[in-house]
């Protein structure tokens, strides 16, 4: 019998593999047991997702963008999460707070996008001329 060992110590919980698209457009592949939330998974894999209020629905810093297909399949956010999404930088129609979204099989191979923090992010490596 093959045992699956993961970073989380569980020896046979069901795992799911997906990707975070970082602010610089690079992808980070992650594998997680089902049931963890996106913020927990990001932190375990050193993905740069802030979680200022430590998963207590008091900020919007763990804002992530889901693919539409996945977003539509998930249960509706509670009003308190929607209130915080109202305040999130760069809100989209498929935005969620990472700490409120637990992964399952539906997440296999999806790409979860971290929102660009600012308008001035030079993603193409462009460097402004020194003044």
Binding site for another protein (CB under 8 A): 19, 22-24, 26-30, 45-48, 50-54, 56-61, 63, 79-80, 82-93, 117-122, 127-128, 130-131
Q: Which is nearer to another protein, 1 or 56 (CB)?
A: 56
Shortest Cβ 65–another protein spacing (Å): 12
Contact 130, 67 (CB under 8 A): no
DSSP-assigned states of every residue in 55-123 = SSSS--TTEEE--HHHHHHSPPPPHHHHHHHTT-TT--TTEEEGGG-B--GGGTT-EEEPPPS-TT--T
114: tokens are 């971290």
Shortest Cβ 1–another protein spacing (Å): 26
Shortest Cβ 96–another protein spacing (Å): 13
Q: Which is nearer to another protein, 15 or 85 (CB)?
A: 85
């Amino acid at each position: 019998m093959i045992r699956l060992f993961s970073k989380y110590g569980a020896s046979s919980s069901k795992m799911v593999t997906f990707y975070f698209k970082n602010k610089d457009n690079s992808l980070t592949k992650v594998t997680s047991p089902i049931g963890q939330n996106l913020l927990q998974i990001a932190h375990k894999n050193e993905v740069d997702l802030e979680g200022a209020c430590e998963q207590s629905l008091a900020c919007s810093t763990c804002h992530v963008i889901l693919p539409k297909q996945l977003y539509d399949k998930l249960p509706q956010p509670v009003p308190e999460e929607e209130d915080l999404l109202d305040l999130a930088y760069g809100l989209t129609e498929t935005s969620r707070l990472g700490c409120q979204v637990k992964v399952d099989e539906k997440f296999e191979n999806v790409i979860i996008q971290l929102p660009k923090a600012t308008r001035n992010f030079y993603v193409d490596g462009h460097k402004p001329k020194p003044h």
